[in-house]
Amino acid sequence: MNLFTESNLSPDILKAIGEMGYESPTEIQKQTIPFILSDIRDLIALAQTGTGKTAAFSLPILDMIDDTSRKIQLLVLCPTRELCLQIAKDIKNYSKYMQNIKTTAVYGGSSITEQMRSLKDKPQIIVGTPGRVIDLINRKALDFSAIHWLVLDEADEMLSMGFKDELETILSETPETKQTFLFSATMNKEVERISKNYLTKPHRISVGSINEVKKNITHEYYVVGYRQKKEALKRLIDANPNQYSIIFCRTRMETQEVADFLMQNGYAADALHGDLSQAQRDTVMKKFRLKNIDILVATDVAARGLDVNSLTHVIHYSLPDDPEVFVHRSGRTGRAGKDGISMALIKPEESRKLKQIKFSTKIEINEKFIPTGDEIIKAQVGGVFEKLFTEHEDLFEFDDKLIPDLSNFTKEELVHQLLQFQLKDLALYYKDKHDLVEQKLSNRDDDYSRRDRGRDRDRGRDRDRGGDRGRERGGKPRRKNENMVRFFFNLGKKDQLKKLDVLDIINKATAGKSKKRAEIGDIEILEKFSFFEVEKSFKGDLLNNIQSMKFRGKDMRAEEAN
């Protein structure tokens, strides 16, 4: 079955999906639709999110459903309200020309009274979340005694969210004669147990696996310290203009914190997490789907059911513990035949977690540098022209006479003025910003570190491979002075900084009531930043005082070097 028209689906269904642009079935649809149409066995179907599972099970069931009966014949269980609504919407679209078919979605966070009222229309199809379905069973509002098909969609996610007891209760309320279809991205122990207890000799279909990830997604990681993560995130967004992205965070608090940071910095962003009311969640998701915002910051659970095919980027602000979650996240980009980019911000101490993800998924995740200010402006210039030359369907019409006389300007002058107007604020922001200090993955078994690979662009020479910078010009190992603290300093040669300047800055910053001067060790001035060593007992004075000082009108910042 290479085309839907080659299937045995009814003309009404083919007409509906044809209008939706469905021509060639996905792999899961190729295997699942003929099976459900011709076989009475239970089914376990393993496929990643975004592979077309809803059509895979609903199209053949719609073809066989009895539209003269007013009893519930199909129950679809799914983990989140958003996925519930999406599935119900899809089924309604597929059954557009089947006038006697009714579908009702039941889910938490909305009026149960309204949903009970909608059930009086006697729908043949119920799509629901486990908790709300249990509530309606207890209120005698749902009767599953006549269902023919039960679908457990994203079973692994329902179990990971703690719906095991609810699932087993619902399953016990259904007749043994039903046909059960279990769809899951993974086959963990709990899913395996559910399948053994509630499915009878199921047929298995597996499309792809954890080790067969999308080939059209480029995977990158950036090593950055915790304190620099937000600034690094800002740079990645600025260096990838015109993006439409989801940023994944670990917790609700982190999600809101990152979203607030982005909004405060002028980005069209918002947060999606479990602390939001249902009305707030609906508003955020509507804005994102309509592209009124182009950056969504979300937790993994909250993003379930968000069906968007045009994401350009997925950014892992925090790495997930489970490698399969990394694949699920990344798979939200690179859909509909488009290329996608997955970016991960890695703390230096997360080398083992990164290594586990790479080993388990077999994904090639390449290390990249946090972009410099110059690189960001270059990318932004490219982004302006990319947007300018893209065909726009929503252009408004106006009288060309409204355009002033531009004959005194050359083409280059006009372009220059356009870029100044568009990018001036961003250019000024990065003009005096130092590059983010290099970070190094710790506790690693392979050469992840830029420093270990001798890639430091500012030095233009090989760096040492020993973890500490550690060697002087003659190649002799530097003896570590336990009485000294090494500092990173945000100014360098480009700021016309010299060693005498550093000595003067340190002396001023450490000058206290005591007449004793701080002992100063090695000073190394690089192109964009510097390092110096100061006696340990003066560490507090230096850190407290240097931030209020200026050098040639520029703010100074120092922090203890890793």
Q: Residue 312: pLDDT above 90?
A: yes
More confident residue, 511 or 180: 180
- Under DSSP, the state recorded for 477 is B
Q: 217-372, what's its fold? A: Rossmann fold (3.40.50)
Amino acid making up residue 519: E
Q: pTM of the full predicted structure?
A: 0.55
Which residues neighbour 500 within 8 Å (Cβ) at sequence distance 6 or greater? none
More confident residue, 406 or 213: 406
469 confidence band (pLDDT: 50, 70, 90): very low
Q: Residue 71: pLDDT above 70?
A: yes
466 confidence band (pLDDT: 50, 70, 90): very low
Residue with token string 């408004």: 396
Check residue 424 and give its pLDDT: 73
C-beta of residue 8 within 8 angstroms of C-beta of residue 21: no
Is 4-206 CATH 3.40.50.300? yes
Of 140-154, 213-227, 232-246, the one with minimum mean pLDDT is 213-227
Amino acid making up residue 409: F
Amino acid making up residue 483: N
C-beta of residue 276 within 8 angstroms of C-beta of residue 282: no
Q: 484-560, what's its fold? A: Alpha-Beta Plaits (3.30.70)
State mean pLDDT over 324-334. 85
What residue ranges do the domains of the chain occupy? 4-206, 217-372, 375-431, 484-560
Domains 4-206 and 484-560 share a fold: no
- Output phi, psi for 516, to 5 deg: -70, 135
- Output phi, psi for 8, to 5 deg: -95, 20
Q: What is the per-residue pLDDT across 378-401, written as a single tens digit (0 to 9) for each?
A: 888 877 777 776 656 666 677 777
Q: Residue 407: pLDDT above 80?
A: no
Check residue 453 and give its pLDDT: 36
State mean pLDDT over 152-157. 86
More confident residue, 525 or 481: 525
State mean pLDDT over 43-59. 87
Q: Residue 305: pLDDT above 70?
A: no
Of 21-30, 339-348, 431-440, 455-464, the one with minimum mean pLDDT is 455-464
Q: What is the mean pLDDT of the chain?
A: 83
Q: What is the per-residue pLDDT across 196-210, written as a single tens digit (0 to 9) for each?
A: 888 999 999 988 654
